[in-house]
A and B are shown apart, each in its own frame.
Chain A
């Protein structure tokens, strides 16, 4: 909702100047002065404004609350000291007739969205209107809009003024490689946002590991004498190295975690980090099995990788 500031000069015989075009809910702060006069001026046209007496020269708001027609006129009148001369002035404009056509706007489409996730476009500043302008969004994925960012609510319709930010969000399709669209309407302008989910990635390696069964070898039982805690078919897990704090420089820095090697392969041993990475990923932190241990290489360009690491065999 817009707030307009205007001032008028009260004169003998009065006059009117053009005021802003307004919408319901806007308000005008009208200042009145009268050269050579002092005292209190009274509002004119209380039908169209919720006015208040104004001390000449002092700002007093006149909130425009409701209108019955398509035009408004708001002003002040002040009786001169002689009691017969009246000093008046007003501003006039149209109601609901402001320019609600924004300049062309384009909220970016979103590619590679995560399926099923609430996905946001990038907020844009809307300009070009001179009135509070209705806006709404509709389409797939329960789209919502937010005006002016921050903690303002996400809704399906609202109003926006020139210079304010607007953004749209919707829930991406739960399917890979599938678009969803929402149309944002601002006044007489519109834009369609397309959120397309990412393509299904290829699967990796890994999976079940074999253990084998045998009627020979060693078997160890729990305290009840019947539950086996180790047998020839148990893929037992052991730790090969004690936990070690590692600090690996970026841009290709590396650290070796040495191991006594006896038949280690990438399918029966690995390096474990104690804490999940928050800013590094498996794309940038690479673990390789070498002839004398596990090497951690940090291909990230952003900073040193730190964690606690140890090797296990299974």
Chain B
């Protein structure tokens, strides 16, 4: 490295490297309780968890678009498959090069090899940080949700799950559903193979074949991330 700056974690993972085209995820907002979120999946990353800490059983959450451009900013409900709206505690981050650099007189700004903003501490406005704590590549989660353990991402149901790439329909019990399942306890859940508390991935495709529905479970098509928020 002949120039620039690299941040690394204590075990050597790169956080920011000004010699590449990377651009960091800057936290825009942290919302305690909301049934909707507005963002652009190309420019932002959303992580969410149930706002309730007293629920029993499990809560499923997927985004369902209710307005906006399919290739730009959209407003989404956080929804269960049956259309029930879920209050979530969510964190929204936006890539630094999609933002205007801060103009404060302090902090650190880093530009990448393209001259784009790679990091700008001045863009944080009191919503805390975000650290990735678990990663599942595409195709590695079975899609069965909390049935069994082959879609379990963690046993810590208090983490934030990535909402990008989730999708529900107006009534997903008759359609497809790609979403996260937060399972706090076995109480209140239907009988199932196993699957204890934690966060799971569920991806079910249904389509009408004329005399009923065909139902398929498919592995996660998009990579899945879990994160922690606040002070990281």
Contact = CB atoms under 8 A, between A and B. Distances in A.
A175 to B, nearest CB: 5
B135 interface: yes
A314 B132 contact: yes
A268 B13 contact: yes
B142 A204 contact: yes
Interface stretch (A7-15, A60-68, A257-265): A257-265
A114 B137 contact: no
A281 B214 CA distance: 16
B212 interface: yes
Nearest to A118: B213
A113 B214 CA distance: 9
B54 interface: no
Given A204-B140, A235-B9, A240 B22 contact: yes
A227 B22 CA distance: 24
Contacts of B97: 239, 242
B133 interface: yes
A236 interface: yes
Interface in B1-33: 7-17, 19-25, 27
Contact of B193 (A120, A174, A226, A243): A174
A275 B165 contact: yes
Contacts of B232: 228-231, 233-234
Contact of B9 (A116, A203, A211, A274): A211
Contact of A236 (B15, B140, B144, B219): B15
Interface string B207-226: 00111111111111111110
Interface string A202-230: 11111111111110111010111011111
Nearest to A172: B215
B83 interface: no
Nearest to B5: A218
Contacts of A231: 232
A117 B113 CA distance: 51
A114 B217 contact: yes
A274 B15 contact: no
B190 A116 contact: yes
A207 B124 contact: no
A232 interface: yes
B10 A211 contact: yes
Contacts of B176: 278
B21 A165 contact: no
A239 B21 CA distance: 8
B15 A281 contact: no
Contacts of A86: none
Given A149-B210, A230-B7, A237-B25, A200 B130 contact: no
Contact of A223 (B7, B126, B165, B192): B126
Given A174-B193, A176-B193, A276-B221, A214 B10 contact: yes
Contacts of B230: 227
B30 to A, nearest CB: 10
Contacts of A272: 164-165, 222-223
A175 B14 contact: no
Contacts of B221: 273, 276-277, 280-282, 285
B185 interface: no
A310 interface: yes
Contact of B165 (A241, A276, A280): A276
A174 B21 contact: no
Interface of A: 113-123, 146, 149, 165, 167, 169, 174-176, 198, 200-214, 216-218, 220, 222-224, 226-243, 259-260, 262-263, 266-268, 270-278, 280-283, 285, 287, 308, 310, 313-314
Given A206-B141, A242-B97, A314-B135, 7 more contacts: A115-B144, A206-B224, A211-B131, A226-B231, A236-B15, A270-B137, A282-B138
